[in-house]
Structure 1
């Protein structure tokens, strides 16, 4: 399968293509699936992985190429392996995740990923996300495990409380927030709590946001314009379109 016009554009932006081979899969919950792959040389080519690193996977939809981004989970540069996690819903990506088996292959393009923790490192971390962002959230918590973190996690199903959060009770506080009003309820919850948690001096804090595009845009504007956080202390990326 070719990659169509999107593939051409990614090539123009120096996207690099790889082919991953599936080695196995596991059903984490009814709504969450993990697929294990060999990396096709990706980690050797990049010199390893950074926190929240993601790749674009290629699927077929209505006979046309269709790409979606997924975070690398537990990358092992020496072994050349990692896993991919899927919050299951309708669509070609999740159909593939549910059906794939050892020996299957999937094309991927590396382009656009990039993340560096701020320097100096934050002494407090605030994270706002949902099931689609959970692999990246876990990656971020793994990168700075001793940093106190408050997480607001939006979901629409009670079973999402069973998802594989990598939490340390001594350092991490998780708030489950029901998805209501297209994300407006999450925004309200964050606005009610975050100013008090930040306090008057937020120079040692870092806020990471990855929700749907609309919610992410709203929260990003709030953090920068109303709370006055500098750009280098906020990372906001919409993970899906509502």
Structure 2
């Protein structure tokens, strides 16, 4: 690879992670704060295959030091060897790179640790908690669960309090508030099957936690085979994961939780 990846890269190598170089072929500003890139995969998909919510670690230069952040593949095409990457723009080296990216630019990437297990039995109702950082993964999840109905709490920036931070992995109808604060974002929701509940980020995520806790018991009581998917900031994700597993006693295989970023 072109640049050293420091101790993190060395550890990943020991774990048999695979390295690739992606090349930007197209760049699009979806909104003023959300940017989509299309890239060629450098042979990755042929070597690794693809699964729902699949993500890769991208390597950025941060004042001469390697800095890695993880991003979900959007609409991967194994036959063509291409996929998209979407960036919720904020302050940081990853967002700075995405803002400046143009066709022909390259980025080094590592694949390790990504996986997805289809829930069995198939979900009778999906409860998903996400934000702009995990939006691509949310879309991939909704594609993967097919026709299952879903209730989606989507945390949006609070314009009066500063909004959300960046992602590290890391498109509706519905109940009161559905769609507010999501204008222009590529959420793949179906107003017939999906109940989208936009929740402003307040009190460092505590408002989102309260909204989910208030509604979840009744929703779970009405479905035989629920599946819960949580991908927010680390503290919110841990809180809600513990709530569903311990207080509501859902089996661990019915709850998938991954913290996508840390609040600072």
Fold match, TM over 0.5?
yes
For structure 1, the residue ranges without an aligned partner over 5 or more in a row are none
Residue 123 of structure 2 is aligned to residue 102 of structure 1: no
The equivalent residue for 2:175 is none
Contact kept? 2:234, 2:260, Cα under 8 Å: yes
Residues 111 and 81 of structure 1: CA distance in aligned 2, closer, same or farther (over 3 Å): same
The equivalent residue for 1:186 is 208
The CA deviation at 1:159 is: 4.9
Contact kept? 1:23, 1:102, Cα under 8 Å: yes
The equivalent residue for 1:83 is 84
Provide the C-alpha distance between the structure 1 equivalents of 2:181 and 2:17, rounded to a whole number of angstroms.
37
Contact kept? 1:202, 1:229, Cα under 8 Å: no
Residue 157 of structure 2 is aligned to residue 136 of structure 1: no
Contact kept? 1:56, 1:110, Cα under 8 Å: yes
Contact kept? 2:181, 2:198, Cα under 8 Å: no
Provide the C-alpha distance between the structure 1 equivalents of 2:223 and 2:244, rounded to a whole number of angstroms.
11
Contact kept? 2:75, 2:83, Cα under 8 Å: yes
The CA deviation at 1:136 is: 0.2
Residue 2 of structure 2 is aligned to residue 15 of structure 1: no
Provide the C-alpha distance between the structure 2 equivalents of 1:166 and 1:118, rounded to a whole number of angstroms.
21
Provide the C-alpha distance between the structure 2 equivalents of 1:188 and 1:169, rounded to a whole number of angstroms.
24
Contact kept? 1:131, 1:160, Cα under 8 Å: no
Provide the C-alpha distance between the structure 2 equivalents of 1:113 and 1:226, rounded to a whole number of angstroms.
28
The equivalent residue for 2:171 is none
The equivalent residue for 1:35 is 37
Provide the C-alpha distance between the structure 2 equivalents of 1:98 and 1:145, rounded to a whole number of angstroms.
33
Aligned residues: 240
Residue 239 of structure 2 is aligned to residue 218 of structure 1: yes
Contact kept? 2:182, 2:198, Cα under 8 Å: no
Q: Secondary structure at the match of 2:108?
A: strand
Residues 18 and 220 of structure 1: CA distance in aligned 2, closer, same or farther (over 3 Å): same
Instruction: Write 1 or 2 for the structure with the bigger share of helix.
Output: 1
Task: Give the CA RMSD over aligned residues.
Answer: 1.1
Provide the C-alpha distance between the structure 2 equivalents of 1:123 and 1:77, rounded to a whole number of angstroms.
30
Contact kept? 1:25, 1:101, Cα under 8 Å: yes
For structure 2, the residue ranges without an aligned partner over 5 or more in a row are 159-179
